[in-house]
Structure 1
Amino acid sequence: MDLALIENLMRMLEQSSLQELDVNDGTTRIRIAKKRTLELDDDLGQDTPDATPAEPAEQGPHRILSGMTGTFYRASAPGVPPYVTEGARVEDGQRIALIEAMKTFNPVECDIAGTVLRILVEDGQSVSVGMPLFEIDAS
């Protein structure tokens, strides 16, 4: 494993507005995510109520989000069957689409095993960072 590559990827992620970076060269997969923290504004001089556990959010299907801005493609080429269809079983790490950015085709990989419930974007549609692409039922 190339530690210099990992350090460069970490530096690139830190300097970008992305929250997560996922790189796969076919043999090695590297996923790096920024740590999310909750910041409280203590400068207001207000007393804050004791923290009480929030009610659990309604659990919905898992969403696969776009990691970049580009053009979404369901298949590797025109006329070729799509990587996945609604109702298909998918595995963690499986390629499920492509996003073309700067004339480079970047794989979209499933990050959980399950069943594709919905494909949320059309083939050839422009997508942006954080845009939901797929809904996956993890059960």
Structure 2
Amino acid sequence: MLNMDEIREIIKLIDQSSIDEFTYETSGATISMKKNENTVSQTPEKEVHKKVQSADTPSLVDIKPEIQEEPKEEQTEIKIDYDYEIVSPMVGTLYSAPSPEREAYVTVGSKVEKDSIVCIVEAMKLFNEIEAEVKGEIVEILVEDGELVEYGQPLFRVKTK
């Protein structure tokens, strides 16, 4: 964090230069200066509001926090009704079909039985068939073909009957 003397020195240097705008960021603080507006903004970890009078600058310079929030993306979540998640029993690569030229084991809307194969997870050159373990309908597929999956990661959501 800069002290007041350092801030005054920066103001003096910016005032004497041809720079119109200056921003300095350090851990926990951002200082922005614009000649056109004659203001200095500081964003510290703790809120601070001070007026600074400098011998070099005849007017007061207002230093106040500017909380910079990242824009929030609007996400519309669609609630999918499901009763069961089929999870990966191991770390590996998920394949949705027995081979690249064949169709996927299941798609959204597919009916599954307890012993229905829903995908394959390849781990250490072994191809492990993953079964649904419940009777129902696939309502959501959470992973893509060829995606790496973790142990316990949800793969499919099923609405049981």
TM-score for the superposition, normalised by structure 2: 0.49
Whether 2:141 is the aligned partner of 1:119: answer yes
Specify the structure having the higher radius of gyration (Cα). 2
Which 4+ runs in 1 deviate beyond 2 A?
none
Whether 2:117 is the aligned partner of 1:80: answer no
Any stretches of 5+ residues in structure 2 without a counterpart? Answer: 1-80
Query: Deviation at 1:102?
Result: 0.4
Q: How many residues align?
A: 81
Root mean square deviation of aligned Cα: 1.2
- Percent identical: 41
Query: Deviation at 1:60?
Result: 4.4
Higher relative contact order (Cα pairs below 8 Å, separated by 6+ residues):
1
Tell me which residue corresponds to 2:125: 103
For 1:17-32, list aligned pairs within 5 A: none
Whether 2:52 is the aligned partner of 1:65: answer no
Tell me which residue corresponds to 2:57: none
TM-score for the superposition, normalised by structure 1: 0.56
Whether 2:114 is the aligned partner of 1:92: answer yes
Query: Deviation at 1:71?
Result: 0.1
Q: Residues 82 and 158 of structure 2 are in contact (CA less than 8 Å); yes or no, is this contact kept in structure 1?
A: no
CA distance in 2: counterparts of 1:129 and 1:136, whole angstroms: 19
CA distance in 1: counterparts of 2:82 and 2:98, whole angstroms: 29
